Chain A
Amino acid sequence: MNAAIDNHWYPVAMISGIDAPRETLLLGKKISLGRDGGACWVKDATGTELPTVERFGHLWTSPGQPNRDLFTIPEADSPGRRLVDVGSVKVKCSPLRAVENFLDIAHFPFVHTDILGAEPHTEVDRYDVKIREEVDEVWATKVKFYQPQAAKSAAGGITTEYMYRVPAPTCSVLYKTCPPRPGEWDIITLFVQPLTDEWCEVWPWMALYDDDSTMSEMVSFQQLIFMQDRSILENQLPRKLPLDPGMEVPTQADMTSVAYRRWLKKIGYTYGAQLVAA
């Protein structure tokens, strides 16, 4: 047992996808989950029930004793938003690599070419990054980037503004300019289930203002983006995320990643991390 790792909430299923009981992995250990009538349950390998929370369309559990409630996203409750369960993608990489990639904008022109970015619009301007001690979360604000097709709902290229939030070690919430409603934020999240320290199941979820696209169009858009990310994530060496400086070289555009790695080290979150330069 390692409290710094076990005492967090982890996503383990999309609630709408739970029918028959099934097994999965959490932090390298077998768990089972299912639903009795209305309520979902999760058990560890010994049959002991684990705590659960049903939120953001997903079932969350913890192998430890979380000392705080699962984070909330109050903005997602505002009326008119469409809540999108994107599904899941299994990726052979550290759960931390998956989160770090989600926090990165500089790869858009090269990995999501002509969708989330395009040459020659590659420059990343300075933005603000902070570890908000009072809530123990990493935040990046005033992130701006030119995007040819920022969302399914975008009619053409726009400069998009982003805010990134890391409320838990394997989760991130992105607040992003909403093309049909300037002044509002679209919400896109990445909930990562650590199957093992080098294998994860990624559950993206969205709360969008988009009155025109069908649900399957919005899901397909996000799945396409994540499949492009997966081709990167499964080809990074090492698979684990190096937390010590020296093994990888950040620049100013990587300030969010630098803060994320520093925060993980500070809170002692080492699952999926590489601590000693190989």
Chain B
Amino acid sequence: MDWIAVGLKEDVPPGFVIPSRIADTELAVWCSPSGTYHAWSDRCPHRGMRLSHGFVRGETLACIYHGWQYNEAGSCHYIPAHPKLTPPDTICVPTYRCIEAGGVIWVSLTETDTPLPALGGRRTVRSLPVSMSAPDLAAHFGAAGFTTIAVVSDHDVLLAVQPCTDGECMIHALAAPDADRSAVSHWLEDLRATLERVPA
């Protein structure tokens, strides 16, 4: 699978964690205090709690349920109930490739040699949920795929599309560096209204 946009850098500052997803794969996306982005399976292996409800402490993500801390490789390195214990290597969270580039947080669920999508110097504007599947959205614009869709418009908009469920996707929008962000935002809302009126 290609790189997929799962969020915007400005929405996940250092020290924050958010829930995200790529289709059926639920993700905890977090940024360490030093600015490195991570996308992990959204489930603590201890009791199944969502890690996206957790907290960033130092260069670790901790589960909110029992405070188990996972280092940047996804390995559990501290269990507060047993402070003197070195947790076995087997306690770890599945991690995915995650890179921030051009203000977009990109994730690939599989190892990939595919280069990150070119953004043509555009800047991020906002994210917007749309009640339409990602492939249908690509088809609407006659695009080959949905990773990024360039739209002929006043603002030179580029849509990075994140598949969520069968009938939902998230659009992460970028536009020309000098575009009026507010105008682009209104344009996106109009686009959504149009898309959601298209019969399935």
Contact = CB atoms under 8 A, between A and B. Distances in A.
Interface of A: 106-107, 109-111, 119, 122-124, 231-232, 235-238, 242, 247-253
B82 interface: yes
A135 to B, nearest CB: 28
Interface of B: 26, 42-43, 45-50, 53, 64-67, 79-83, 85, 90-91
B66 A237 contact: no
Contact of B80 (A122, A231, A235): A122
B65 A122 contact: no
Contacts of A249: 45-46, 90-91
A252 B64 contact: no
Given A110-B67, A111-B65, A253 B81 contact: yes
A275 B104 CA distance: 40
> Taking chain A's interface residues, is the majority helix, strand, or loop, or is none over half, making it mixed?
loop
Contacts of B65: 107, 110-111, 232
17 contacts: A106-B81, A107-B66, A109-B67, A109-B80, A110-B80, A122-B80, A122-B83, A123-B80, A124-B81, A235-B50, A235-B53, A236-B49, A237-B42, A238-B48, A247-B48, A248-B45, A251-B82
Contact of A110 (B43, B45, B66, B91): B66
A251 B85 CA distance: 10
A60 B45 CA distance: 36
Nearest to B92: A249
A278 B78 CA distance: 27
B67 A236 contact: no
A273 to B, nearest CB: 13
A106 B80 contact: yes
B1 to A, nearest CB: 22
B81 A122 contact: yes
A232 to B, nearest CB: 5
B20 to A, nearest CB: 15
Contacts of A253: 81-82
A236 B48 contact: yes
Contacts of B42: 237
Contacts of A251: 46, 79, 81-82, 85
A77 to B, nearest CB: 35
Interface centre among B42, B47, B48, B79 (most CB of A within 10 A): B47
A107 B67 CA distance: 8
A249 to B, nearest CB: 5
B82 A252 contact: yes
Contact of B49 (A106, A109, A124, A232): A232
Interface centre among B42, B66, B91 (most CB of A within 10 A): B66
Given A109-B67, A111-B64, A232-B64, A237 B85 contact: no
Contacts of B26: 237
A235 B83 CA distance: 26
For the complex of A and B, the 8 pairs showing the least CB-CB separation, nearest first, are A122-B80, A253-B81, A106-B81, A124-B81, A236-B48, A235-B50, A110-B67, A237-B48
B25 to A, nearest CB: 12
B91 A124 contact: no
